[in-house]
Amino acid sequence: MRTMPAFDRDDFSIPRDEYLYSGHSGCPGCGATLTMRHVLKAMGPRTVVVVCASCWTGIAGYFPTSSLKVPSVHCAFASAAATASGLKAALEMRGDDISVLAWAGDGGTLDIGLQGLSAAAERNDDILYICYDNEAYMNTGIQRSSATPLGAWTTTTPLGQDRPNKNIMDIMVAHGVPYAATVTIGFPSDLMRKVSKAKGIRGTRFIHALSPCPTGWRFAPHLTVKIARLAVESKAFPLYEVEQGEYIITHMPRDRSLKEYLELQGRFKDLTDDEVQGIQDNLERAWQRLMAKSRIATYATP
């Protein structure tokens, strides 16, 4: 496979092969689409993607079209994990070594699909589950999910989300899964290295992929990657992995201000300075808790 050199401070070179066709129906600057493009580069062709109801139901192509170069199986909203588990069991009965990638949004993962995901993780079924998190129900038009961050406007939180988002990584790590990681498209080599590592591990692997959404977060589409990067650098979305319970920070934030990250997004425009400070304090405490239980990867420091 021909590869490109790494783009961030990481050792993973980027495969040239494409598994996503142009001509899909993702919005301009769609972070969720770019996440899939990056993920499949690391997964390679012997992959089946199980897609539950989400923006990706459409992005994957309307019948009779398909924008993916790997097989995909669409499934009902709450059923990504269980469908993937059944599919994997069948492939094993067939004697086929094909990776099964369950692909769900934050609603399909943190809300309606959490029960099934919990069960698959508890059984340690051999699937890679990726939650592409755009922090709200975007396909239905920007409604709050339990991944919507504190203070964010959505159509169902017109005064701003009044609770911090659910910590899905802690939930999954508590299941004792062999591998869990956070990734984002702002750090493609880090993303692909983690997906590639997850691919090589047996059991339930979970990846939480922050996927900025220009439409729902209210920013101009050219800012998608910049915002993904700022989320990490401002500690709003730390990059780390948990291998057999061991926490490893894979990128040390460069301490960019949270205000800069929030100000680029229209969904935070009504926040007062005090509210921004409150959010920053929350994130700082969460970061300190994460640091206390983590080691830092050698390549993580800028």
Ranges within 176-235 binding other proteins (CB under 8 A): 185, 188, 214, 220-226
Q: Which is nearer to other proteins, 30 or 177 (CB)?
A: 30
Nearer to other proteins, 1 or 93 (CB): 93
**Interaction of residue 279 with other proteins, rule CB under 8 A:** no
Q: Which residues, other chains included, contact 185 with Cβ-Cβ below 8 Å and sequence gap of 6+? A: 31, 34, 35, 38, 191, 209, 210, 211, 212, 224, 225, 228
Say which residues have a Cβ less than 8 Å from residue 245's Cβ, sequence separation at least 6: 173, 176
Query: Under a CB-based contact definition with an 8 Å cutoff, are residues 73 and 50 in contact?
Result: yes
What gap in Å lies between CA 99 and CA 200, rounded to an integer? 10
Q: Which two structure tokens, joined as six digits, stand for 55?
A: 């923006």
Give the nearest distance from C-beta 246 to other proteins in angstroms: 28
* From 68-76, 141-149, 275-283, 294-302, span contacting other proteins (CB under 8 A): 68-76
Q: Binding to other proteins (CB under 8 A): which residues in 112-171? A: 115-116, 118-119, 122-123, 125
Indicate the SS3 state at residue 248: strand
- Per CB under 8 A, 18 contacts other proteins: yes
Q: Which of residues 45-64 bind other proteins (CB under 8 A)?
A: 45-48, 50, 57-58, 60-64
User: Of how many residues is the chain composed?
Assistant: 302
Which of these ranges, 28-36, 103-111, 173-181, 265-273, lies near other proteins under the rule CB under 8 A? 28-36
Using CB under 8 A as the binding rule, whether residue 299 contacts other proteins is answered as: no
What mask, x for binding other proteins by CB under 8 A, covers residues 29 to 48?
A: xxx-xx--xx------xxxx
CA dihedral for 43, 48, 50, 55, sign (positive or negative): positive
User: If binding is defined by CB under 8 A, does position 69 make contact with other proteins?
Assistant: yes
Query: Is residue 266 near other proteins by the rule CB under 8 A?
Result: no
* 14 contacts other proteins (rule: CB under 8 A): yes
For the chain, the C-alpha Rg in angstroms (whole number) is 18
The site map against other proteins for 79-118 (x = CB under 8 A) is x-xxxxxxxxxxxxxx-x-x----------------xx-x
Decide: helix, strand or coil at residue 254: coil
Binding status of residue 75 toward other proteins by CB under 8 A: yes
- C-beta of residue 224 within 8 angstroms of C-beta of residue 132: no
User: How far is the C-alpha of 65 from the C-alpha of 70, rounded, in Å?
Assistant: 13
